[in-house]
Amino acid sequence: MLNIILFGPPGSGKGTQSKKITEKYNLVHISTGDALRNAIIKKTSLGIEAQKLIDDGNYVTDEMAIEIIKEELDNHECANGFVFDGFPRTTFQAEQFPEILFKFGTNVNLMISIVVDENILIERLLNRAKECDRPDDREEEIIYKRLEIYNETTACVKDYYKSLGKYESIEGNGEIDGIFDKICTVIEKYN
């Protein structure tokens, strides 16, 4: 199995690139953000609990994030491998991940970090705000808050994978296809 964590701040293009990677390498895309938004639409008990946190730009609890990733994995037992987008977002989630994946006889192969200049991130997020109906993308203040939480809580998760020798970073400022080529080069080095 090939299991890749696509890592980066909000607006770094994880969602766009995840889709391209899963198509090319025949993997399953697991986005905890998408899964949580589905739970909110379906009004599951987890969705109801998550909604206020997410709308305000906060993270859901580690327990909630772990519950949602387990559900997603259970739904795709026959996959060739996964692209994880939005998980792990805390060091605790990263530490729990081997145990979560053990049930499937697999582990994370590689974290690929998409590095984007902060001014470009902000520009992209403000543009996304105009086009989309995500409440957490609508207000500038919430966008800044999410970037701050990312820098405080999530950016350090890369150190966990660096220490395991499972970390690569690519520059993600340019065009979608150029960034995708760089990601493929990294994947092929490991695969």
Tell me if 59 contacts ligand ADP by CB under 6 A.
yes
Classify residue 66 as exposed, middle or buried by CB count within 10 Å of its CB (0-12, 13-18, 19+). Answer: buried
Tell me if 29 contacts ligand ADP by CB under 6 A.
no
Tell me the closest approach of the beta carbon of residue 61 to ligand ADP, in angstroms.
7
Active site residue 138: no
Give the C-alpha separation, 46 to 174, whole Å: 37
How many residues touch ligand ADP (CB under 6 A)? 18
Active site residue 124: no
Q: What is the dihedral angle through the alpha carbons of 22, 137, 150, 49, rounded to the nearest 10 degrees?
A: -90
Active site residue 128: yes
Give the C-alpha separation, 103 to 54, whole Å: 29
Tell me the closest approach of the beta carbon of residue 79 to ligand ADP, in angstroms.
19
Closest to ligand ADP by CB, 14 or 182: 14
Give the C-alpha separation, 84 to 104, whole Å: 15
Token pair belonging to 159:
């150190």
- Binding positions for ligand ADP, rule: CB under 6 A: 10, 14, 31-33, 36, 53-54, 58-60, 65, 86-87, 89, 93, 136, 146
The residues assigned a catalytic role are 14, 89, 128, 134, 146
